[in-house]
Amino acid sequence: MLDNYFPYFQPIIDVGKKAIVGYEALGRTRNTSARVESLGPLFNDPNFDRSLLLQIDRTVRERAMRHLAKNPGNTFLSLNISPEWMNHVPDDQVVPSIEMARHCGLAPERVLIEFVEGVGETLKMQMLLKRYRQAGMKIAIDDFGAGHSHVDRLVALEPDIIKMDMAFFKRGMMSGISKDVVRSLGALARRTGSLLLCEGVETREEFYFALDCGARYVQGYFFYPPAAELVPPEHPKVMLDELLEKYLSLKISQQKLQLRFHQDITEFFQKIEPQLLADPVDVMALPEAPVGFLRVYFCHRSGEQISPNYESCRVEDGYWSATFENLGMNWAMRPYFHQILAVGEQEHRRHSISTPYRDLRTGKLCQTMGILLENNRVLLADIACSEEVNIDGDDIYIW
């Protein structure tokens, strides 16, 4: 009965090496029409015999190990293990996957253990994790970004690889906060010493977004579907050469747009500086601001705002309005404030600009530009990050 269950292999690509470095083993079976089908529905069926499912799962794992063991090299095998199965491994007995690798002649260093989505006992998970690591295997958290328990699992497991949840990744393709959150996972991976893997990559745009997120590894139908045989490691090189050349070209265009945008904004900032230094400020006399210039205001170097916001707008009575709701607010805790002060003092630059952040009032991704003035004052301007579209229709975001 178990003969009808077998692995398919989907390549995992290291973008930096432009090569396949691993394969995820995915369970398959044949239906009554001899058509190959995924075993996924069995794992989601609460009525399917769990003991039999465990046997099927281990059978697929062992066959995958035997197949990779026949292929010399450094490619690894990625195996999904549900937290549900952890309870089937007593602390005083051998771990099945470790024993399988030994029996199949597969070096444990070539095995990546993925803990898939589910509720597992954290202590049990940590104990099993320790045994996998002691054997030389690596650890990955799968479907990161789906559910509520993943941060706890990240802390507990200290994974070598973080696999981003496919739906979470695809939501990030949309602009706005979803994109910010998904991109932040790349920063989280870097800070924790993990490598980021984006799976479910189906288009060139998704591949480029994965790179923007900081992914080292990618996996998906855009490159290869799961198959019965292993794709040679060097196979994607030509495709990746072309993709990365195009990506670099897009990034250069993006940087040029950014420099031009910032130059225009800086020139306007310098133009209105004398008028803003007047007492009182004649709001009606301020010239029309370029697109993306949101507001300008004064702060003391302590962080306290000492002027109203002069908001750029399009109204019948003029191009600017003064709002007083932030007068007296202290912005010292905002990263952009001390960034501007530090750059200005260390590099002796009057003009400096912060890293991007999300503006609470407008919901736009923006940056803050600052000018250090005399008498412990700072002139600040909030500007929206420009968003352009190139001739191919690809989004280019100005950071």
Q: Are 91 and 127 contacting, i.e. CB atoms less than 8 angstroms apart?
A: yes
* 381 Cβ contact partners less than 8 Å away, ≥ 6 residues apart: 265, 269, 293, 294, 295, 296, 297, 368, 369, 370
Angle, CA 178 vertex, CA 173 and CA 180 arms, to 5°: 95
Angle, CA 127 vertex, CA 124 and CA 130 arms, to 5°: 150
Q: For the segment 322-376, what is each residue's pLDDT rounded down to a tens digit?
A: 999 999 999 999 888 888 888 877 766 667 788 888 877 777 788 899 888 888 9
Segments making up each domain of the chain, as ranges: 2-235, 250-388
Q: For the segment 188-235, what is each residue's pLDDT rounded down to a tens digit?
A: 888 888 999 999 999 999 999 999 999 999 999 999 999 999 999 999
Task: Report d(CA 115, CA 82) in Å as an integer.
Answer: 6
Task: Report d(CA 311, CA 291) in Å as an integer.
Answer: 13
Q: Higher-confidence residue: 20 or 287? A: 20
On whether the 2-235 domain is CATH 3.90.380.10, my answer is no
Task: Report d(CA 151, CA 232) in Å as an integer.
Answer: 35
The pLDDT of residue 394 is above 80: no
Among all chains, which residue has been given the structure tokens 């709001």?
283
Q: For the segment 256-271, what is each residue's pLDDT rounded down to a tens digit?
A: 988 888 889 889 988 9
Q: Higher-confidence residue: 152 or 356? A: 356
Per-residue pLDDT, 56: 94
The pLDDT of residue 153 is above 80: no
Choose which CATH entry (3.40.50.2300, 3.40.190.10, 3.40.1190.20, 3.30.450.20) describes domain 250-388: 3.30.450.20
Within 13 A of 88's CA, how many CA atoms are on the CB side? 15
Q: Are 353 and 366 contacting, i.e. CB atoms less than 8 angstroms apart?
A: no
Within 13 A of 25's CA, how many CA atoms are on the CB side? 27
Looking at every residue in the chain, the average pLDDT score rounds to 87
Which range is least confidently modeled, 25-39, 40-54, 188-202, 338-352?
338-352
Among all chains, which residue has been given the structure tokens 């949101």?
294
When pLDDT is averaged across residues 236-264 and rounded to a whole number, the result is 94
Of all helices (H) and strands (E), which one includes residue 139?
strand 138-144
Among all chains, which residue has been given the structure tokens 């490159």?
223
Confidence of residue 317 (pLDDT cuts 50, 70, 90): low
Q: Higher-confidence residue: 347 or 395? A: 347
Within 13 A of 43's CA, how many CA atoms are on the CB side? 19
Instruction: Return the closest-CA partner of residue 170 out of 220, 208, 213, 206.
Output: 206
**Residue 110 burial (CB count, 10 A):** 20
The pLDDT of residue 117 is above 70: no
First to last CA, the chain: 57
Per-residue pLDDT, 119: 53
The pLDDT of residue 279 is above 90: no
Per-residue pLDDT, 209: 95
The pLDDT of residue 396 is above 50: no
Share of the chain above pLDDT 90, in %: 53
Task: Report d(CA 280, CA 288) in Å as an integer.
Answer: 19
Per-residue pLDDT, 185: 82
When pLDDT is averaged across residues 104-130 and rounded to a whole number, the result is 81
When pLDDT is averaged across residues 17-31 and rounded to a whole number, the result is 97
